[in-house]
Structure 1
Amino acid sequence: MSGTAFHLIRHGDYPLLGRVLAGRMRGHSLSALGLEQAARIATALAGRHLAAVVSGPLERAQETAAPLAQRFGLTVVTEPDFNEIDFGQWTGMEFEALHALPQWRAFNSFRSTAPIPGGETMLQAQARAMAAVTRLRTRFPDGEVAVISHGDVIKAVLAHFLAVPLDLFARIEIAPGSRSEIVVSDSDARILGVNLPPGV
């Protein structure tokens, strides 16, 4: 199948996961489970022919990318457009507190239009991620590229190719350490797998 094969990988588990909206907070590395997930991803893709390993700038993404890049003798390429959503004033808040906020509930119901106080919109996040995908497609027209990013960013990319409105993208499950595979050509895109567990 001709085209660029993208392996969209969500970073592995880290201690704040599910408790605090870490967003773009620095200094949060993978947990022991997350490191294990990263190693399993590298092993699972060992038989492929990766031309590049591209990662968002945060530690949890970079640490997930590192074993994979090492496996292929590549250097991790840092791409800011694959960074986590800018959650603005919500960054660092516990999810229990967020659930009480009307703006947070609106954001999770209407991702396409609801603003994030002091942050970016989902449309902006989707646009920057797709711009990065397009650049990689141009650079590696028939190659395989691993992209290590964040759950909502990966959902936004998949939603674009599936023609799923952002308001409905919560229907796409992207677990920590999961991999989704898509082949993008000049004429179309084919989804080969979504939310594949580490090691698959």
Structure 2
Amino acid sequence: MPADIVHLVRHGEVHNPKRVLYGRLDGFGLSELGHRMAASAVQALAGHEIAALYASPLQRAQESAAPWAEAFGLPIHTDDRIIEPTNRFEGKRMDRRTLMHPKHWHLMRDPSTPSWGEPFADIAARMLIAMREAHERIDSGEVVMVSHQLPIWMVHRAVADKRLAHDPRKRRCSLSSVTSFAWSDGAFIEIGYQDPAVELLAQSIDLGAV
């Protein structure tokens, strides 16, 4: 039998004093609060049989995976397919001045794809393939995959058969949240969402999500 459940875990808060959209840029690790958030996510699944651990190659995901590795005695398997999407606004502050500048208008011509970065459909496809392979790779137990907000949200919408284009302000995928999926009748279904860092969110400045 393959894995019982695949949990998609978002990383904790990033140290981002300039408040830029960091995307795939190097050098963006967790803040002190982010480390506390990552630890709280592990507590949400204390007592579960976590049999495999995967993480995006980005620093914030690797650091968020570290408490899982320590708690369950697991190596961190790096999977490029669960990385943050590309985004042509990387390194910029996402404020009104940036969005209203004429040189950026062409990047916003088609929010449904989107025109500023990796297509939503491609994000969902690579995530689901990575989940399927991780699910099939172990005989029993559960899998944790530490990823990013948009990839996790694309899986949520894809398995619910919802349109992938969406309002980013309405994503239900907080820092260090845990979204859980089970395999049923040849496809993943979402079976739960937990927000273990909810008490820490009021202290966070989460401006780097794509």
Residue in 1 that maps onto 2:179: 180
TM-score by length of 1: 0.85
Q: Deviation of residue 36 (structure 1)? A: 0.3
In the superposition, relative to structure 1, how do residues 169 and 130 fare at CA in structure 2: closer, same or farther (>3 Å)? Answer: farther
Name the CA distance, whole Å, in 1 between partners of 2:6 and 2:98: 33
2 CA distance for matches of 1:18 and 1:183? 39
Tell me the equivalent position of 2:21. 21
Contact preservation (8 Å) 2:53, 2:69: yes
Counterpart amino acid of 1:33?
A: L
Q: What letter is aligned with 2:10?
A: R
User: Between Structure 1 and Structure 2, how many residues are aligned?
Assistant: 193
Structure 2 CA distance for partners of 1:18 and 1:198, relative to 1, 3 Å = farther
Maintained 8 Å contact 1:156/1:169 = no
Instruction: Give the whole-Å Cα distance in 2 for the aligned partners of 1:143 and 1:18.
Output: 41
Aligned partner letter, 2:190: I
Secondary structure at 1:51's aligned position in 2?
A: strand
Q: Does 1:191 align with 2:176?
A: no
Aligned-pair distance for 1:128? 1.4
Q: Which residue does 1:102 correspond to in 2?
A: 105
What are the equivalent positions in structure 2 for 1:161-176 lying under 5 Å apart?
Answer: 161-168=159-166, 170=168, 171-176=170-175
> Alignment partner of 1:99: what SS?
helix
Deviation at 1:19, TM superposition (A): 2.7
Q: Which residue of 1 aligns with 2:83?
A: 83
* 1:198 counterpart letter in structure 2: A
8 A Cα contact 2:56 2:62, kept in partner? yes
Q: Cα gap change, 1:146/1:162 in structure 2, threshold over 3 Å: closer, same or farther? A: same
* Residues in 2 aligned to 1:178 and 1:103: alpha-carbon distance in whole angstroms: 33
Q: Secondary structure of 1:74's partner?
A: coil
Per the TM alignment, residue 42 of structure 1 is displaced from its structure 2 partner at its CA by 1.8
Q: Is structure 2 residue 117 aligned with structure 1 residue 114?
A: no
Asked if the contact 1:52/1:74 (under 8 Å) is kept, the reply is yes
**In 1, are the aligned partners of 2:10 and 2:147 still within 8 Å (CA)?**
yes
What one-letter code is carried by the residue in structure 2 that aligns with 1:155?
W
CA shift at 1:5, angstroms? 0.5
1:138-171: CA deviations, max 9, x gaps?
2136430001000000001111111111113744
Is the 1:179–1:195 contact (alpha carbons within 8 Å) kept by the matching residues of 2?
yes
Between the aligned partners of 1:23 and 1:125, the Cα distance in structure 2 is 14
Report the CA distance shift for 1:121/1:29 in structure 2 as closer, same or farther (over 3 A): same
Q: 1:123 to 1:189 in 2, by over 3 A?
A: closer
* Runs of 5+ consecutive residues of structure 1 not aligned to the other structure: none
SS at match of 1:114: coil
User: Which residues of structure 2 form unaligned runs of 5+?
Assistant: 200-210
